[in-house]
Amino acid sequence: MLSRIFRTTEVSAHCDLPCGVYDPAQARIEAQSIKAIIAKVADNDDPDFRTRAILIKEQRSELVKHHLWVLWTDYFKAPHFEKYPQLHTLFNEATKLAGATGTKGELDAGKADELLAKIDEIDAIFKETKAA
Amino acid sequence: MAVGLGVVVVRGRSMEPTLHTGDRMVVLRGAPPRLGRLAIVRLPPDDDGVPRPLAIKRVTMRDPADRTRYWVESDNQGLLGVADSWTHGIGSLARDQIRALVLFRIPQRLRLPGSRRGRGAPGADAG
């Protein structure tokens, strides 16, 4: 058929971010996207754009939570929690910052910065466990 | 850029439920993007400078901050790892990053009059 006449090119509708590996970079990219979306909404009066942007911000916030939960439940093991007793609290605070009282529910760039800072703290511990 | 027809095959889930992996699309290379329609786009390299593959996205609007640039989105926004103009490091695309306009999907099985069951072998259906 047509595909025999024309050369077929593969086009990606796949995740182009790091996937299939444990890495706080995934949560960070989504959190940075959220921060950028908050800035765009602040600069824009178009109600359609704002509605769309806010919807995307909520979805990306859910993705942040998912990425963090995967690290929390699948990557980090009991010995890590013994060595870093603050980890549980860090994950709780970070996912809360991506939730209804954080970037999902609010349009506050400060919340996005707090979320990024928490992800950095988790990342620092993650890197220590990788190096160990 | 020369204008010409081409065929692409979709890999991945970021355009669900509109498109599914394995779908074949006829595209018009070099055609101008149309708002609301699908396009084949070249996303910028990631933060580490690694090039991204050619991607299929929906052109949703012009960039509100720069009307010469186009905003492209995935249809499946809840998918992990979704990468489009809303993603940090990507943003809107310049005209020359939009490589082709997607015209239509080639049906998975062309059911011609008289053919019993497309390309599938008899009894091959698992369902």
B80 contact A CB<8A: yes
CB A94 within 8 A of CB A68: yes
* pLDDT of A29 above 80: yes
Q: For residue range B4-35, what is the model confidence (pLDDT) as tens digits? A: 999 999 999 999 999 999 999 999 999 999 99
* pLDDT of A126 above 80: yes
Asked if A49's CB is within 8 angstroms of B40's CB, the reply is: no
CA distances in angstroms from B30 to A50, A68, B24, B101, listed in the order given: 31, 41, 18, 7
Alpha-carbon gap, residue A55 to A119, rounded angstroms = 22
Domain B4-106 matching CATH 2.10.109.10: the answer reads yes
The total number of residues shown for chain B amounts to 127
* Residue, of A119 and B47, whose pLDDT is higher: A119
- Partner residue opposite A8 with nearest CB, options B8, B40, B43: B8
Q: For residue range B28-59, what is the model confidence (pLDDT) as tens digits? A: 999 999 999 999 999 999 888 888 889 999 99
DSSP secondary structure letter of residue B93: B
Asked if B14's CB is within 8 angstroms of A14's CB, the reply is: yes
Alpha-carbon gap, residue A97 to B65, rounded angstroms = 28
**Token duo for residue A29:** 């990219």
B17 contact A CB<8A: no
B112 contact A CB<8A: no
Question: If you measure CA to CA, which chain A residue comes closest to B19?
Answer: A13
- Partner residue opposite B11 with nearest CB, options A14, A46, A62: A14
* pLDDT of B3 above 80: no
Q: Look up the CATH architecture of domain A20-131.
A: Up-down Bundle (1.20)
Asked if A40's CB is within 8 angstroms of B80's CB, the reply is: no
Question: Closest by alpha carbon to B57, among A50, A41, A14?
Answer: A14
**All structural domains of chain A with their residue ranges:** 20-131
Question: If you measure CA to CA, which chain B residue comes closest to A67?
Answer: B80
CB A101 within 8 A of CB A110: no
